[in-house]
Amino acid sequence: MEYREIISEAMVNMGVNKLRTSLAALGIIIGIGSVITLVSLGQATQQQVQNQIQSLGANLLTVNPGAQRNGALRGASGGGTTLTLDDANAIKSSPQITTISNVSPELYRRTQVITGSTNTNTQVIGVTSIYPIVHKIILDSGNFISDRDTKAMAKVAVIGPQIVSDLFNGVDPIGQNIRIFGQTFVIIGVTQSKGGTGFGNQDDVIYVPLSTAQKQLFGVDYLSSVALEAKSAEVSVDAQNEVGYLLLARHKLKDPSQADFSIFSQQDILNTASATTGTFTTLLSGIAAISLLVGGIGIMNIMLVTVTERTREIGLRKALGAKKKIIISQFLIEAIILTFIGGVIGIMGGILVSYIYSVVTGSLFILSPASIMLAFAVSGGIGILFGWYPARRASNLQPIEALRYE
């Protein structure tokens, strides 16, 4: 019997009981579809995180108070108060620093902001005029905070588009007043949207002059961080070393292991975020793959039932001279076709679900060719793996016993 005839007969046999065939393929469809969908969503999430981090500035370095110990940030003596404006000015003016082009001292706090009868809880960041250059901030309207505003401790503010939505409901906010810590600030600018969610939402922020934030709002003389723009990505490591040694000397620390500050590059943050989202995607895909195992067991059970139902047919074939190889091929090909069709439907379903999710949520739509090829391979592999035992069992039936089977 030619393989073309075997395939044709397998299709006919599967069509005899369409409901059972559909239920057998359902586990494969769900498993493959789940893997495709979760891999797609995981990669889309990872790409969005990378885009948000890179939008902050490709050559960005961040100096934070507190030292890095075993992957966690250890608070230094004074609890996050070890960086000062003098440190930022020293980095800016020191002849030892040759790889840094811009220095942005920053102070941030989350607080309640009020206008009229509306209020919101958001992040207020004390900045200087260099901030939009370092962090790649673009204004949608108005002006950003100037050096004059910083020197005069002016009560002016630049807000993100999320604040506009939360507080002004479509009204032009330029020239409007908001109250922060009971003090009135005049809005002078609105930034363009950069995206983000939760505490990392770059649109849900209010910028005020650093001097105003330190002296009038929060009453502190330290910084939350110092953002640095390296001259290029290639000198980022050199920049970290130069700044690190300078701050060690300023803080009178000889042993780098006792540093009361930490320096992170965008690549450090990007690697950490990528590893986290990658692990999460792998975990979800592993969970989805369990349904493939369940689907494979379902295929094997259905094929075993099929062998039992067709015992007399098998005995007749063997009595007429059908070789063991032909019997194995017949049932194995049925199992492979069943899983392959289920795999194709699962792939199409996974792509459709991923696309619908991206449209509804406004997220990225990313398909991994590798995951699709893997899905094809897995569906075929399941057919071979779980179809082999029923096929071998059928081929081992003795003709006389098979013909007597009722």
> Domain boundaries in the chain?
3-52+274-404, 83-259
- Predicted local distance difference test score (pLDDT) of residue 397: 66
In terms of DSSP bridges, do strands 205-209 and 156-159 run parallel, antiparallel, or are they unpaired? antiparallel
**CA of residue 249 relative to chain centroid, distance:** 39
Strand, coil or helix: 183? strand
Which pLDDT score is estimated for 75?
41
Calpha distance 184→187 (Å, rounded): 10
Q: Distance between CA atoms of 175 and 285, rounded to whole angstroms?
A: 51
Give how far the C-alpha of residue 57 lies from the chain's centroid of Cα atoms, to the nearest Å: 19
- pLDDT by residue (tens digit) across 114-133? 998 899 999 999 999 999 99
Distance of CA 61 to the CA centre of its chain: 22
For strand 183-191 and strand 156-159, is the pairing parallel, antiparallel, or unpaired? parallel
CB within 8 Å of 254: residues ≥ 6 apart: 248
Q: How far out from the chain centre does Cα 226 lie? A: 26
Check if the beta carbon of residue 327 is closer than 8 Å to that of residue 314.
Answer: yes
- Rg over alpha carbons for the chain, rounded to the nearest Å, is 33
The pLDDT value given to residue 84: 92
Kindly give the parts of the chain with pLDDT less than 70.
1-7, 9-16, 50, 52-58, 67-80, 195-200, 269, 273, 288, 309-312, 314, 317-318, 320-322, 397-406
User: Which positions ≥6 away from 336 have C-beta within 8 Å?
Assistant: 380, 383, 384, 387
Q: Are strands 100-115 and 225-230 parallel, antiparallel or unpaired?
A: antiparallel
Instruction: Tell me how far CA of residue 159 lies from CA of 213, 370, 399, in angstroms.
Output: 15, 43, 84
DSSP class per residue in 112-173:
EEEETTEEEEEEEEEE-TTHHHHTT--EEEE-PPPHHHHHTT--EEEE-HHHHHHHTTTS--
